[in-house]
Chain A
């Protein structure tokens, strides 16, 4: 997933509230489904890249934007030339179009995952008054994903000694056995960690019925409100157009 636990916040010029980033994500989803013209999409993506840049990931923002610009250019050149076997043209243009339309969603997803700390995330969820019954499993999930990866590494090492091979050929030969060998140690070790974790969390007072505070503070600031308004406007526009069935 690529969550950074402690990213380098020194380069960030602006800090956006996670809720703003969610809003961006939802808007991107709506836009990517409903917008078919290239120009508005371009402008929207530039906007997103700029926000990503401001949030601190400069090199990545530049690289992503370069990729986007390159593909647009390629598409443009392809259309202008009008040459090429239909099959090839179709495959290429479909791939490019899919990527282009997917781009805003990708950027807003990266904005969420790579510039937010997990604690900020959870604090934002709490501020949004989501029920504890949702926040606790989410927090546990984030914390458990690296654990699962660690366990998996350990199990692969154990498999190497026992002569259980993980190569595709071996998997195809005995798929059921392979599934069993993967799942059983993984599940047993995960269950034991899970139970200890639950005991430790409960013994330290975690209770889903009580309200938790957080040492991270999430506050909506001026730029948050500004951005949210703008994007709300964009999303509203698209939804309106879809509802009224307007033409391009």
Chain B
């Protein structure tokens, strides 16, 4: 690990929240709430301070912390894409890191008051800290895989926190929805990453922006797109999930099931903007694809308008804010779509302040009136007196969101509109020497959409304020402000919501902020200067109309007149234009049906076939076997007796063990004497018993010459040493090879393993040998009984064969017979050929 002390600050900024999460999640589960608050808030604050120090100390370039080589993606040909645990900070990620940590600190602080009554306090703060860690990792990662780790990490924490009150099944379902929809986007990010890795051989952002030229490939394999279009669209696809754009925005409104500070931090200020951050990070690639930018522009603008319209009709504070967030994210992507990445990031920055402020204000209201889950506008009203701080700060946030001049939202929204007008007026944009052409009809459409979205923004912002804080109270609670820990974040965020915009003013001392950002992202700027007053007129006009309508409609009214006025349109918009129902029909139900089928296939077909049949066989078989084992004493006794009878039956027959012994030239047949046994022997198999009738005194018998069998001869092979036991080779008329087994391994010359070229067979009562040894002439030889022949170290002797039929009878009169053949002459040998059978 190396790096300047400032680079170490990056590591601290990332790891401090992780440490906080581990400590409060694992060790402080049963600790006092104060300890948990202290640990987790200070962990995030340390991260903020570290990020701020690093950002302030940032020079023109970037700061990099080199960790260690994580792994290498092999590419073939010995090459690989090294993936390092490396953090980097430049103007873009520095701004994000400071903003994330700053807002996270305020929201942690707010949560201390908001969640004071919560039982799983430590779990909540552990999740929140873990989220901050993942978000900082996402922002400060120096390469795509590490960014993806953070990307998945924030997704996980989002899931955990949406479902924080997991006892409520609807909340749990919302958490699952968020998780699953995000997975749809993550696939695209992964594929995009693979594509980038295979095209450029690197995933490091710094190296990537240098090698962006690779993406100039005009035609790429898939659908005739350029490589830049494919990569840009894949990353944008991922961004539509994370940043809630059409078509994957449906999870964000449901995500309001989580605690309100979570909505403020994750689902308004930080995580949902990571799609915009990714786009800005990838801007060197994005600007190379006009087609992808056009898609992004239209999707962003359409999302802004659609969500803005839905937000008009929502009747709960958090739902309005949620759709408002989707709408504002649409603004940001519209800016991305015309290559105005710095404008998009600017809006990310300002939006984080006023949207976090609005959410925290909503949280404060809910805290005050003890509304759990969400606050219905119909049951609020007149809270201005009871909640002065909340009321005032909320008004600031609402006005900032609406785009009232001199507040933060005004500046960023104007920048976006400026960029759009620039794109609409000039077909030609240029980004670092690359020509970008957005169709002017697309830009014009986007302008119309965004103007209408801005109008509805102004309308619902003021509606929210008016229906919450003014008029007659429509609730029966006794509202009261939260403690200092809740008021302080509201005030600080309100200050941010006012002042954040001024950082972009081209004023002395402030210029560096925007300029350094523009140095990192690759903005596409109009070739000719363009703009004039038109964007501002459109923006202010939308604000005036929207605000005017809101004030006219809601000033002093207890009922919401909108449903009556808009009729069917209201109902459609209230239902999110049926998108949720459509997705349910298009995706959820088919997948559920497939799952049910697969489940039933597994449970019925697979289990039936591969579990049911064997178990059925086992059942049937065991039913049969069970009859055998009755487990009564009688059945056991019976088994014993039957076994006993069988053993008796076996021993009821005499056993015959014949031994043949050679004593010099004499061959002796021996049988063991036993009680009640008597023997008789027939030599030569001629039917006459040489011993006469059965004799009990028979133990040994010399084999007479008449035992010899004509035409039977056996080959005895004597091997070194010659006085050892010879090997008997029983031959027949079919020639066979003599090999290692018969002649011995040491006989075999090297290189001639296995069979040797020695063939042997029986012909006319003699052994025939045919040798074809290497180095010798082929030779054929006949061995009559008694004759021998020497081959190498082995002596081959032809020997006559004797035949004997031995019968033994026991006291019961049972007879066992054995017929055997054995070499007639030779040395001590106990060879027996033949089997015995029993004759009762």
Judge: A and B partners, yes or no.
no
